[in-house]
Amino acid sequence: MGPFKVGEKTTKVPLIQGGMGVGISLGNLAGAVAAQGGVGIISTAQIGFREPDFDKNPVEANRRAIQKEMDKARKISPQGIVGYNIMTALREFKQHVEAAVLAGADIIISGAGLPMDLPALTAGSHTRIAPIVSTEKSANVLLKYWSRKHQRTADLIVIEGPEAGGHLGFKQEELELYSPEAYDEEIKKIIEVVRTYETKYNTKIPVILAGGIYDSADVKHAEQLGVDGVQVGTRFITTEECDADIKYKEAYLKAEEEDIAIVKSPVGMPGRAILNPFMKRVMLGEKIPHTPCHGCLSKCSPNEIPYCITDSLINAAKGEVDQALLFCGANAYKATRMETVKEVVDSLFDRK
């Protein structure tokens, strides 16, 4: 794997830092990764939670924070590659995309559903677009639709595997089917789909592998599968530059392998998280009281949910870890010490 292009810019290392909401990957972490030659990604999920008017006007608070966090990242890495992760499941997806383009995003990466209308929302801008797919079928459906409806293809593709953190692009039964070996074959099939559209549009579409990438051995394995780069999220949590509270980072350092489990988010999507006191209460069937609706996810019914995902993720970002949903990747338990972003990038690519 070598450097890949994002528009007119080129990475120095074949790395994207995964987008982690709420408040985990913001301008500080994204800027630090961009400064090391990777692609720094800011998550827009409830990005404005620290704004004074967030409870009363989350839409405007989020829009304002999208610009603020880009400004912060650009100050750290003026020439680096910085973009946003924007979930299609967000109720304000369209508004977040518009705000990200206005903020000068180099790229928008979008998952938690297939971003069918992303090309139209970014048309005429310099912002590149990258869907997250998890299966050959989803890659086929999306790229065929973009080609037919929008007469274009993806600028980059992220393949997110079953070992990723946070919401996963698989049903529960699919997660049980995919052994690492079985998913390697799925990755190769997705690459074949992408290469078809490279030929059709006479362009290079970098394919980036995400989910469970933690060390240089994982990077080498990804390279053997034929991808062009890797996306890493969990490994960056326990860095000094990560935007999360120190207590969130310490929860990763304390976690054992058996503490990490597949959980169900309030909207029914499976996800991976640390089993803390909060999640154990939820799994026992307790309904957790929550604040008035912040309008985050389009398919959420506030009166029916067992807990509020916004409340629980804000608690995580603030360090109230016993009352929080602590999303993590499958290898989070491997973290044993705090590192810098430079140390992580150096170790991933055996960089001296």
Residues 6+ apart with CB under 8 A from 224: none
In the predicted model, what is the mean pLDDT of residues 108-127?
A: 96
Whether the per-residue pLDDT at 291 is higher than 90: the answer is: no
User: Per mean pLDDT, which range of 111-115, 124-128, 130-134, 176-180 is the poorest?
Assistant: 176-180
Average pLDDT of span 232-239: 97
Res. 272 pLDDT band, cuts 50 70 90: very high
User: How do strand 157-160 and strand 128-133 relate by DSSP bridges?
Assistant: parallel
Question: What CATH class is the domain 5-244+336-349?
Answer: alpha beta
Q: What average pLDDT does the segment 292-304 reach?
A: 81
C-alpha 191/C-alpha 187 separation (Å) is 6
83/270 Cα distance (integer angstroms): 26
3-class DSSP state of 22: coil
Q: Against a cut of 0.75, is the pTM above it?
A: yes
Instruction: For residue 285, count CB atoms less than 10 angstroms from its CB and return exposed for 0-12, middle for 13-18, buried for 19 or more.
Output: exposed
Block residue for tokens 């924070």: 65
139-176 as b/e: b if 16+ CB within 10 A: bbebbeebbeeeeebbbbbbbbbbbbbbbbbbeeeeee
Q: Which two tokens stand for residue 251?
A: 């929860």
Q: Tell me the pLDDT band of 177, cut-offs 50, 70 and 90.
A: confident
For the chain, the domains span 5-244+336-349, 246-333
pLDDT band at 302 (very low <50, low <70, confident <90, very high): confident
* Res 321: pLDDT: 95
> Can you say whether residue 268 is alpha, beta or left, with left for phi > 0 and alpha for psi between -120 and 50 degrees?
left
* pLDDT above 80: residue 176: no
> What value does the mean pLDDT take over residues 216-238?
97
Quick one: average pLDDT of 176-193?
A: 89
Decide: helix, strand or coil at residue 28: helix
